[in-house]
């Protein structure tokens, strides 16, 4: 097990947009990559990328000191390790560096992390890239969340936190655009089709799945409706963990924080103009892409799935 972990360098996964799917991915990552020898876990990603959900999936029961619902643990447990003299003191601590730096000097946070590690504790550090220069050593496991979730096991030769931070921050905009476009598609569907929707992922886009039979709506007409909403620059806002507001209308959503602020921030939205049949899952797939090169991406995806059909015949 330890040898396998030491041989691991870098892995990437699509970053799912729903909270439940992020929890599931977190559990899978913990099983595959987390070692009992890992004491310092560095998490990197912008606000709203799903870091908290991923951490909860990897470390069930861990008390996050600054969670998505605005619950702030005070005093910060990491700063009070020496004052916690009970036999029931935590083994694993969490700290959000960006948030805590508003109350505590960065050097103090770095010293607290170092002290906790030398006391035999495990520390989960959000925005690890901010404290890394003061800490002076890398994390045992680095995880960044953007359009993809990247898992790295740094060695003396890297990767540096900044290396995976740049990729995560640059790609997050595609994930936010894709998720919002996905919800706009669902918003324009009938209640019957919406009730059947499932979700999957592609690079710079999304997949909406329908079991057993294809919907009877016109895809080009749906694309036009969504592009009309994008041109109208409608506001998008969080309502609660299960709903998002689209121009003041409530819409069910499994990842309501993972959106652009308004529809006008989406550019180059396109749908593949036919459904793809997944013969293994018995599903019909509606595929959409956003951003630069969206039409070319759709053509490549269509060609790839057609090649799979040709090989199977």
The closest of 135, 116, 36 to 76, measured between CA atoms, is: 116
d(Cα 132, Cα 164) in Å, to the nearest integer? 13
Taking the chain, what is the end-to-end CA distance rounded to the nearest angstrom?
41
Confidence of residue 5 (pLDDT cuts 50, 70, 90): low
Coil/strand/helix, residue 182: helix
Per-residue confidence (pLDDT) for residue 72, from 0 to 100: 66
Q: What is the average per-residue pLDDT within 142-146? A: 95
Give me the percent of the chain exceeding a pLDDT of 70: 92
Average pLDDT value over all residues in the chain: 89
The closest of 183, 178, 290 to 239, measured between CA atoms, is: 183
Helices (H), the chain: 2-7, 19-33, 51-58, 97-100, 106-118, 128-135, 161-187, 191-196, 219-231, 294-312
**R_g of the chain computed on alpha carbons:** 21
pLDDT exceeds 60 at position 222: yes
Which residue has better confidence, 305 or 57?
57
Query: In terms of DSSP bridges, do strands 205-211 and 198-202 run parallel, antiparallel, or are they unpaired?
Result: antiparallel
The closest of 201, 209, 162 to 24, measured between CA atoms, is: 201
Per-residue confidence (pLDDT) for residue 80, from 0 to 100: 78
The region that residue 68 occupies, defined by phi over 0 for left and psi between -120 and 50 for alpha, beta otherwise, is: alpha
Residues 53-88 pLDDT 10s: 999 999 998 888 876 555 566 678 888 777 655 555
CB atoms within 10 A of CB 233: 13
Q: How many CA atoms lie within 13 A of 5 on its CB side?
A: 15
pLDDT exceeds 80 at position 312: no
pLDDT exceeds 70 at position 301: yes
Which residue has better confidence, 86 or 309?
309
Domains of the chain: 2-159 (3.40.50), 173-312 (3.30.980.10)
Which tokens belong to 45?
Answer: 């990603």
Residues 246-294 pLDDT 10s: 999 999 998 898 999 999 999 999 999 999 999 888 999 999 999 999 9
Phi, psi of 121 (to 5 degrees): -95, 165
Per-residue confidence (pLDDT) for residue 81, from 0 to 100: 75
Q: What is the average per-residue pLDDT within 211-217? A: 93
Which tokens belong to 3?
Answer: 């040898």
Per-residue confidence (pLDDT) for residue 93, from 0 to 100: 92
Per-residue confidence (pLDDT) for residue 1, from 0 to 100: 44
Per-residue confidence (pLDDT) for residue 76, from 0 to 100: 83
Q: What is the average per-residue pLDDT within 103-111? A: 94
């Amino acid at each position: 097990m330890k040898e396998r972990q030491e041989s691991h360098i870098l892995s990437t996964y699509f970053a799912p947009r729903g909270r439940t799917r992020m929890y599931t991915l977190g559990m899978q990552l913990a099983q595959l990559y987390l070692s009992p020898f890992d004491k310092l876990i560095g998490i990197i990603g912008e606000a709203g990328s799903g870091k908290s959900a991923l951490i909860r999936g990897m470390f069930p029961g861990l008390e996050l000191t600054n969670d998505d619902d605005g619950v702030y643990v005070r005093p910060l447990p990491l700063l009070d390790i020496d004052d916690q003299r009970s036999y029931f003191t935590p083994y694993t601590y969490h700290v959000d560096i960006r948030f805590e730096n508003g109350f505590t000097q960065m050097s103090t946070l770095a010293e607290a992390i170092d002290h906790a590690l030398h006391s035999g504790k495990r520390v989960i550090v959000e925005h690890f890239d901010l404290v890394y220069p003061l800490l002076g050593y890398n994390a045992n496991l680095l995880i960044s969340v953007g359009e993809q979730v990247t898992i790295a096991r740094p060695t003396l030769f890297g990767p540096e936190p900044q290396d995976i931070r740049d990729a995560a921050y640059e790609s997050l905009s595609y994930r936010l655009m894709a998720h919002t476009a996905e919800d706009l598609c669902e918003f324009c569907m009938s209640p019957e089709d919406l009730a059947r929707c499932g979700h999957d992922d592609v690079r710079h886009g999304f997949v909406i799945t329908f079991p057993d039979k294809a919907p009877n709506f016109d895809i080009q007409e749906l694309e036009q409706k969504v592009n009309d909403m994008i041109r109208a620059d409608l506001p998008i806002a969080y309502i609660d963990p299960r709903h998002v507001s689209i121009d003041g209308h409530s819409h069910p959503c499994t990842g309501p924080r993972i959106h652009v602020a308004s529809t006008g921030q989406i550019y180059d939205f396109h749908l593949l103009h036919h459904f793809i049949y997944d013969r293994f899952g018995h599903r019909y797939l509606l595929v959409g892409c956003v951003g630069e090169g969206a039409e070319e991406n759709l053509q490549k995806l269509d060609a790839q799935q057609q090649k799979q059909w040709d090989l199977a015949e």
